């Protein structure tokens, strides 16, 4: 009885919890503090297991999605595989409840993209599933910036056998950014918006469009001046390499 009352009380506070988690993940992104990111994500998971909140589950998937990318970049493949397994289960649960949720399909496509990176020998199988899920997401909501962002990732990072195209990826990322910027309220604590701009710099660099990449770097630092890792590491490395 007491447990049920507590769950009901927590459920009433969930919107506040959700906003708090979103802000904490964003601050971890700004500070480049992935240990803090993991702690917040674990707190989200604990609360979701108590409440079963669909809103919290979505926020958890978003956080896990970002953390997996970090693990892969650090070559921590075993941990990345563990997180991929969790994300896949969570997304399947979301899609059982809301099969027409475009972002869930987009994120599932991204998870299969991560699988390509973790197990390249299965690139054809996982790559096709990534394409398929993103196409479903696009059909469901062609105006969702997250769907466009994942489409850009697929274009930029897809295996050579599928024919990647960095200029096309840049076009897609720019569309995603345009859609993000239409919703000014939705930009608050939105690390994925900044991350999409960061991905656009990669696309421009891959295409040899270094001046355009530089312009995007400068925009990122105007949007979020507190990005110390960008100002002190990523951007200086770009400038040294390409003469800006």
N residues, the chain:
244
| Structure confidence at residue 10 as a pLDDT band (50, 70, 90) | very low
d(Cα 151, Cα 137) in Å, to the nearest integer? 10
What pLDDT is recorded for position 159? Answer: 66
Give the model confidence (pLDDT) of 68-100 as tens digits: 999 999 999 999 999 999 999 999 999 999 999
> Quick check: is 60 in a domain?
yes
**DSSP 3-state of 41:** helix
Nearest CA to 58 out of 25, 27, 30, 35 is that of 25
In a domain, 129, yes or no: no
In a domain, residue 12? The reply is yes
pLDDT band at 157 (very low <50, low <70, confident <90, very high): confident
35-54 per-position pLDDT tens digit: 999 999 999 999 999 999 99
22, part of any domain: yes
Query: Strand, coil or helix: what is 33?
Result: coil
The string of pLDDT tens digits covering residues 166-190 is 999 999 999 999 999 998 877 889 9
Range of the domain at 10: 1-91
Question: Could you tell me how far CA 170 lies from the centroid of its own chain?
Answer: 17
Q: Is residue 97 part of a domain?
A: no
Count of domains forming the chain = 1
Give a yes or no: residue 84 inside a domain.
Answer: yes
Asked if 45 and 60 count as a contact pair (C-beta separation under 8 A), the reply is yes
Q: Is 227 exposed, middle or buried (0-12, 13-18, 19+ CB in 10 A)?
A: buried
- Measured CA to CA, the distance from residue 75 to residue 93 in angstroms comes to 28
Q: Is residue 28 in a domain? A: yes
What is the token pair recorded at 9?
């009380």
Q: Do the domain assignments include residue 218? A: no
CA atoms 102, 105, 110, 116: torsion sign: negative
Cα Rg, the chain, nearest whole Å: 18
Q: Distance between CA atoms of 59 and 190, rounded to whole angstroms?
A: 12
CA dist 87 and 79 (Å) reads 12
- Residue 114 to residue 116: CA distance in whole angstroms: 5
What is the per-residue pLDDT for 223? 96
Q: What's the pLDDT score for residue 217?
A: 98
Output 185 or 56, whichever has higher pLDDT: 56
The predicted structure's pLDDT at residue 161: 61
């Amino acid at each position: 009885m007491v447990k049920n009352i507590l769950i009901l009380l927590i459920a009433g506070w969930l919107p506040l919890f959700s906003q708090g988690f979103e802000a904490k993940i964003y601050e971890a992104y700004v500070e480049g503090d992935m240990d803090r990111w993991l702690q917040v994500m674990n707190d989200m998971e604990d609360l979701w297991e108590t409440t079963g909140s669909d809103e919290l589950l979505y926020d958890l998937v978003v956080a896990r999605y970002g953390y997996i990318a970090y693990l892969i970049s650090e070559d921590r493949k075993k941990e990345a595989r563990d997180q991929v397994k969790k994300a896949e289960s969570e997304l399947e649960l979301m899609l059982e409840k809301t099969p027409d949720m475009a972002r869930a399909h987009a994120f599932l496509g991204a998870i299969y993209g991560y699988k390509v990176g973790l197990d390249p020998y299965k690139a054809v199988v996982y790559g096709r599933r990534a394409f398929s899920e993103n196409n479903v997401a696009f059909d469901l909501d062609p105006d969702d910036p997250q769907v466009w962002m994942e489409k850009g990732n697929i274009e930029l990072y897809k295996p050579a056998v599928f024919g990647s195209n960095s200029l096309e990826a840049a076009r897609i990322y720019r569309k995603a950014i345009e859609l993000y910027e239409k919703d000014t309220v939705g930009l608050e604590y939105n690390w994925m918006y900044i991350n999409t701009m960061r991905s656009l710099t990669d696309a421009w660099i891959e295409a040899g469009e270094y001046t355009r990449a530089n312009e995007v770097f400068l925009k990122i630092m105007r949007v979020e001046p507190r990005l110390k890792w960008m100002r002190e590491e990523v951007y200086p490395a770009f400038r040294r390499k390409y003469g800006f």
